[in-house]
Amino acid sequence: MNVTIIGSGYVGLVTGTCLADLGNHVVCLDLDQRKIDLLNSGGVPIYEPGLDALIQSNAEAGRLSFTTDVAAAVTHGEILFIAVGTPPDEDGSADLKHVLAAARSIGQHLRGFKVVVDKSTVPVGTGEKVAAVLRDALAARDLPDAGFSVVSNPEFLKEGAAVEDFMRPDRIVLGVDDDEAGQRALALMRRLYAPFNRNHERTRVMDVRSAEFTKYAANAMLATRISFMNDLANLADRVGVDIELVRQGIGSDPRIGYSFLYAGTGYGGSCFPKDVQALVHTAREHGQRLRVLEAVEAVNEDQKQVLVRKVFDAFGPDLAGRRFALWGLAFKPNTDDMRAAPSRVLVAALLRAGAEIVAHDPVARDEALHALRQDLAAEPALLERLRFADKPMQALEGADALVIVTEWKAYRSPNLAAMKALLKQPLVVDGRNLYEPEAMQRAGFRYLAVGRPM
């Protein structure tokens, strides 16, 4: 099928590339000429395992191309995905300006029936707003009857595992209108996603509003599990309980399950923080408070300080003359994404307290520096005390402690004896519970994890 993706960011690129790999002819549109030039010259603007090879092979096969030509892109696709950003507004609501601008561009160039798919995470009611913009644009061109139908098809992929998640979905949510155009759109969407439904029907068809809500509910549920465990982990620290054993103890109940119960430094990234805030905002707009989610957000903000608290407990609030090794900057492994990364809170706090930092991250170093320059724009001199190491062990030399923020694989089984020899004192503050407290104790370390008292 002919597919157009509007917005070649994270979700758009992964969606377009994977759909091309399934045999469709995909055109990815973006207004950023530099991004399109980069993609056309074989570069990839984001780090995502497996994506670069897949882009290359599908571009070479002639199934995937990149353009800034709006008219050509809109004409190309029978199905047009809107996959542009919905950044949070100042009040926490999702800013729809890019989504509605994309709808306007479609309306300006559309001829004949098109399925317009909202792939971006958008609040309930956005499908109707997109349809209204399309109708207005068509009326202005004197084409009020040119057909279209707006479908909601939220994305559930995780950064760092995006290609795998797209290619092996556990569900495909389709929100469609209950009219003739909606049924026509549904038939086309079913054809597009047929390869995923061969052995097992994964499509969940519903109305547009429910589909839009489903996306927020999924992220809100996952964020709730994380904040719940972080809250319990802090209590576990006080009452001498190992939260890891508790996680296994409760996860074995199939009603609870094991996933997304890892205590840590709080959730970050571009989705959970933004989507929780947006849902809280939607509720308030409708005169309701989502009290559980408001608490989820408050607990998460507080949890981003957990490592700062542990460092201050160990060294006091004045860190002048202290040096810390820091492993991991990205908000999670296998990505260079620094959006809402807990490491930003830690780095700023340690630098402000006078510390020196030697940080390592396998891929996020440039993104991290960019983010930290923004965070510390008013106090740029602080960054003079931040250095980067090329290898994890190099960061440890002469450091007063190692602080672990992101659970990259490379940090999972270090040579403990070498680690101890490099550190000035054998202290590891671990925000991801990577090691067994007993093993650390045997190796002669003081080990401060999250909810795992020694």
Question: Binding site membership for NAD(+): which residues?
Answer: 30, 35, 86, 121, 159, 274, 339
CB of 314 to ligand UGA, least distance (A): 23
Can residue 158 be called a binding residue for ligand UGA (CB under 6 A)? yes
What is the amino acid identity at position 241?
Answer: V
* Residue 273 in the binding site for ligand UGA (CB under 6 A): no
Q: Which CB contacts under 8 angstroms, 24+ apart, belong to 380-388?
A: 382/348, 382/351, 382/352, 383/351, 385/351, 385/355, 385/356, 385/357, 386/347, 386/351, 386/356, 386/357, 386/359, 387/356, 387/357, 387/358, 387/359, 388/358, 388/359, 388/360
Member of 47, 148, 213, 267 binding ligand UGA (CB under 6 A) = 267
Residues in region 189-228 near ligand UGA by CB under 6 A: 219, 222, 226
Contacts by 415-420, CB closer than 8 A, 24 or more apart: 416/440, 416/443, 416/445, 417/443, 418/393, 419/393, 420/444, 420/445
Positions marked active-site: 271
CB of 42 to ligand UGA, least distance (A): 25
| 156 touches ligand UGA (CB under 6 A) | yes
Q: Is 262 in the site for ligand UGA (CB under 6 A)?
A: yes
**CB closer to ligand UGA out of 127 and 328:** 328
Find the part of the chain contacting ligand UGA (CB under 6 A) among 43-51, 58-66, 267-275, 309-317. Answer: 267-275
307 binds ligand UGA (CB under 6 A): no
Query: Can residue 268 be called a binding residue for ligand UGA (CB under 6 A)?
Result: yes
Which residues are part of a known binding site for substrate? Answer: 156-159, 215, 260-264, 268, 332
Q: Applying CB under 6 A, does 331 fall inside the site for ligand UGA?
A: yes
Among 22, 26, 117, 157, binds ligand UGA (CB under 6 A): 157
Question: Residues marked as binding?
Answer: 30, 35, 86, 121, 156-159, 215, 260-264, 268, 274, 332, 339
**Residue 271 sits in the site that holds ligand UGA (CB under 6 A):** yes
Residues that bind ligand UGA (CB under 6 A): 121, 155-159, 219, 222, 226, 260-262, 264, 267-269, 271-272, 331-332
